[in-house]
Amino acid sequence: MGVVSILQSLRALSEPTRLRLLSLLFHEELTVAELQEALGMGQSRISASLGQLRRQGLVLDRRVGKNIYYAAVLTAVAPLREVLLSAVAELPEAERDRQALQLVLNKRRDRAADYFDKLAGKFGRTYIPGRSWQALAHGLLRLLPPLVIADMGAGEGTLSQLLARTSKQVIAIDNSPKMVEYGARIAKENGFQNLEYRLGDLEEPPIDSESVDVALFSQALHHAARPQRAVESAWRILKPGGRILILDLASHTYEQAKELYAHVWLGFSGVELHAMMEKSGFKNLEVSVVAREQQAPNFQTILATGLKP
């Protein structure tokens, strides 16, 4: 690579988006859709940046069926490798991009999850007497071992009551006195001795450290003022070997949710949930979309789990 070419390449990489793109492609061959997911950018911006990198001979593409994969031209990047790595390390998005790339690759490799999604989509499509998600959920709950579960942001506690049927103990946390009063009354009326409602906040739950097996956030984390603090609190209350389980909305743009449902956050991306759990110390992280609504605004439900070593 001549001096002029090196200067032109450095000029092309002076723009942060192109630098981030080349950094990802230096490690892995990716499609535009995968790059969009990793960087959280629109298709036109990604394509325009790829076009400039390709004109400089830093990126090449190849078609596989309907997909086009992009990769860094290693021979062209080699003279710039040290400069590239140093520049990337200075980007504020560097760590986030690393995590996002790993999630994208995990999703690509997780063929079993794709197959399960197809099977799940068929369940209930054809009517069969007695077969429903409701009945299946009740059956699966019976398979759970007798765990101590913290239901964080439990509301009136419908899920808590279902879990209490087979759990050793369920602690339902909510910051609404009326919700706690109502849930406690219903639990008493139904004879649940192992279900306790406590008034408290997701970020500072009134639960002893290392005392629960599962910390569950079911459509609750988007109500937290500081979601990271809530995840860190889950770490505190979990026993070693305990698990965090988050079911929440995937990132969306339905602003009305703040007024209609008192949501503080418009869902979370897989990258955000992965980063929250990793920062809190959780290992064996898994994040995936597990449900998609067919009606507008087409909310998606994302599942994130992690283990406390």
Domain harbouring 228, CATH code: 3.40.50.150
Structure token pair of residue 227 = 């979601």
Question: Quick one: 293 and 179 in the same domain?
Answer: yes
pLDDT tens digits along 231-273: 999 999 999 999 999 999 999 999 999 999 999 999 999 889 9
Q: Is it the case that residue 133 has pLDDT exceeding 80? A: no
Burial class of 215 by CB neighbour count within 10 A (0 to 12, 13 to 18, 19+): buried
Question: Quick one: 183 and 223 in the same domain?
Answer: yes
Q: Is it the case that residue 208 has pLDDT exceeding 90? A: yes
105 located within any domain: no
pTM of the entire predicted model: 0.70
pLDDT tens digits along 46-96: 999 898 888 888 888 988 777 889 988 888 777 777 777 777 777 888 888
Q: Which of 91, 122, 151 is the last residue of a domain?
A: 91
Cα dihedral 118→122→123→128 (10° resolution): -160
274 located within any domain: yes
Question: Quick one: 206 and 287 in the same domain?
Answer: yes
What is the maximum span of the chain, computed from C-alpha positions, in angstroms?
A: 81
pLDDT of 3: 36
Question: Quick one: 158 and 291 in the same domain?
Answer: yes
Question: Quick one: 55 and 201 in the same domain?
Answer: no
Question: Quick one: 18 and 133 in the same domain?
Answer: no
From the list 224, 241, 51, the residue with the least C-alpha distance to 233 is 224
Percent of the chain's residues with pLDDT above 90: 45
Phi, psi of 285, deg, nearest 5: -80, 140
Question: Quick one: 155 and 297 in the same domain?
Answer: yes
Q: Is it the case that residue 2 has pLDDT exceeding 60? A: no
Residue 144's domain comprises 112-307
Question: Quick one: 159 and 263 in the same domain?
Answer: yes
Tally of domains within the chain: 2
pLDDT of 1: 45
Q: Which of 43, 60, 91 is the last residue of a domain?
A: 91
